[in-house]
Chains A and B, each alone.
Chain A
Amino acid sequence: MDLNEEQAGGVTVLQVMGRIDSTTAPVLGERLTAMVGAAGARVVVDFSQLDYISSAGFRILLLAAKRADQTTSKLVLCGVSGKVRQLFDLGGFLDLFTIAHTREEGIAAAG
């Protein structure tokens, strides 16, 4: 898994590439928790280059969303399509997160 962080008008965009499994999920979890840990943070996670996400990855996303609620931060996911979207649907996660179609829409939704 590779992570790439960018700033776009006060919104932090984290692009996740490759696979989120039990080996890589803790790395993502640490990064995400730190990002949404600051009060009022605005974070977009871009999954357009993601190939695979397992239950370990979904757990990390749930924990990050919970942390964002506690700190009144905003967490938006984008680029959830194809196989990855099917997995979100399979696990019943599509309605649990704010999911934007594109990165631009994600930034607008977070901002």
Chain B
Amino acid sequence: MRRPANIVYGLEDSPPPHVTVFNGVQYVGLIAINLVYPLLVFRAAETPAQLVGSLLAIGMLVLGLATFLQVCRLGPVGSGYMCPATFTATYLGPSLLAVQVGGLPLLFGMTLFAGLLEVVLAPLLNRLRPIFPPEVSGLVIFVIGLSGGIAGLRAMLGEKAAPVSTEEWWIAGVTLATMVALNVWGKGMARMLCALIGLAIGYIAAGIAGLLGVGNIRTIAEAPWIGLPAFGHLSWSFDISMVVPFAIAAVAAAMKAVGTIAVCQRMNDADWVRPDMRSITRGVLADGASTVVAGVAGALGTNTSTPAVGLAAATGVASRKVAYAVGAIFLLLGLFPKLTALLAVMPRPVVVASLLFAVTFIMINGLQVMSSRMLDARRTLVVGLAIVAGTAVEVFPTLSATAPEAARPLIGSSLVFSTVIALLLNFLFRIGVKQTATFKVDGAPVQAEKLEQFMETNGAAWGARRDVIDRAKFNLAQSLEVIVDSCEPQGPVEVAASFDEFNLDLRVSYVGPPIELPERRPSNEEIMESEDGQCKLAGFMLRRHADRVAATHRAGRSTILFHFDH
């Protein structure tokens, strides 16, 4: 593992104590904004403010433990990377549903179930890739953001919500504007902590407008400075109708953990080529185990924090020691009831503004994941129809009431409905997609446009990664150029391209002498002196561009195999 130039403190480094503590505080500040998710769920469950304070304290302790689980490598658990834990919008929709149906006991029971499911799924994730291709997982992320934003707006504008006062509109506007302005135009710390600063401004504005309320101020004043949260209220229940929403959230959380840990790997290794599934599996196991802890202790499901890892890449501080500091700070904050009481009484417009700010990035992240693959008409329909299905559930909440009894759990949540539609269409549209495509080239000159079209059309039908198809296009064009120009093939050159979610294989065969695929680059003189040098250069580039190459020559027929990992 070679350290990239932009990393100041690598994974194994020990930064000076002040750097460790300062960075730890910075990450905690970044992650703390996500306490808005449990807050929204506990409010929806009409939990008394005092108990909300206690639940948030438990939440902080859970985040501390989850961060330690991820960074420490205990048995098969933990990626060992600086990858702090956070609460996530992924569990927001299902959690809101759970508290509506069965209150806090059902929330905690189903969170425990989701965590266990993620633990079970961790070793199988790589095999599940064909079922959950990126356009489907991107769609899940997008709908998580969309439904989270609408859930926030419903708290202010929904039928059951109290009417919104002019002051509340102003406070929501000021909070959101602060976060947006600092994020867009701010620099350094101001930009990194834009959400936390916006939150503080929102509180101040609410205080000035008299929206904090005497009761709430008394709750904060009466809370002790130091103390353990109460666990007496804890109980758990299970409801079969909640299995699908929580299962989808668990899969989405696992996929996000895969992505975040892959970013950690890439950030720490200048020679990184592709994800190392061993540390990813350990990381997803830790992520699932953290959600199990959350369910047992009485919190919402947790997930790896992508923004925190992004911040590590920006600052170049990726030391494991910093993750220990983040875990320790969260554990300490969980022991300050006054702080959690302050968070528990967060005014409604501040909650909604913070949520809208957060979900914007989640939705865009989903769009980026969706568009990371080439999309043909089939895949476009999968994504488009599934988004419409999810949006329909949000716009027409009574939709599930008109559905047959058995289908209601699937149509009751936008996340569940859109995911189910996407999975069904994904299966349906596999009909008629050939996993192996063939093509023949007859004589010179090579028709470059036809080769391009062959790879583009099939790449889009397979939903392949753009970068892998581009590499394959080069190898196809360059090898055919050499074969047609220098090998004098007898008859057509046959091309077969085969794809599954993990591999792209190109097979080029012809009757004629084999082309050379040297491991050493020919010298500049060799290249300039003759066309033979030019062919050697082509062979060298072809070998380097593919992940594996193999060449055979039998009974006058030469075959070259180019393998690309996918």
Contacts and interface: CB of A to CB of B under 8 A. Distances in A.
Interface of A: 19, 21-23, 52, 54-56, 58-59, 62-63, 66, 83, 87, 90-92, 96
A91 B485 CA distance: 20
Contact of A55 (B446, B470, B538): B538
Contact of B537 (A23, A58, A66): A58
- Most A CB within 10 A of own CB, among B474, B521, B544, B545: B474
Given A21-B448, A59-B537, A54 B527 contact: no
A92 B536 CA distance: 13
Given A59-B534, A83-B474, A90-B545, 15 more contacts: A22-B485, A52-B448, A54-B478, A54-B538, A55-B478, A55-B482, A55-B527, A55-B534, A62-B528, A63-B528, A83-B470, A90-B544, A91-B540, A91-B541, A92-B521
B163 interface: no
Contacts of A63: 528
A55 B535 contact: yes
B541 A90 contact: yes
B445 A23 contact: yes
A59 B477 contact: no
B166 interface: no
B481 interface: yes
A39 B544 CA distance: 38
5 contacts: A52-B477, A54-B477, A58-B537, A62-B527, A91-B540
A81 to B, nearest CB: 14
Contacts of B533: 59
Given A52-B448, A83-B470, A91-B537, A21 B477 contact: yes
Closest 9 CB pairs of A and B: A55-B538, A55-B537, A59-B534, A23-B445, A55-B534, A22-B485, A54-B478, A62-B528, A22-B481
A83 B472 CA distance: 12
Contacts of B481: 21-22, 54-56
Interface in B522-566: 524, 527-528, 533-535, 537-538, 540-541, 544-545
Interface of B: 445-446, 448, 470, 474, 477-478, 481-482, 485, 521, 524, 527-528, 533-535, 537-538, 540-541, 544-545
Contacts of B448: 19, 21, 52
B344 to A, nearest CB: 51
A78 to B, nearest CB: 21
A51 to B, nearest CB: 9
A55 B533 CA distance: 9
Contacts of B478: 54-55
A8 B388 CA distance: 54
Contacts of B540: 91
- Most B CB within 10 A of own CB, among A21, A54, A87, A96: A54
A83 B474 CA distance: 10
A80 B507 CA distance: 30
A6 B537 CA distance: 32
B546 to A, nearest CB: 11
B537 A96 contact: no
Contacts of B544: 90
A22 B528 CA distance: 14
A62 B446 CA distance: 24
A58 B282 CA distance: 45
A1 to B, nearest CB: 10
A63 B477 CA distance: 23
A26 to B, nearest CB: 11
A87 B541 contact: yes
B196 to A, nearest CB: 38
A49 B299 CA distance: 55
A58 B527 contact: yes
B541 A62 contact: no
A92 B482 CA distance: 19
Contacts of A87: 474, 541
B469 to A, nearest CB: 11
B524 A62 contact: yes
Contacts of A58: 527, 534, 537
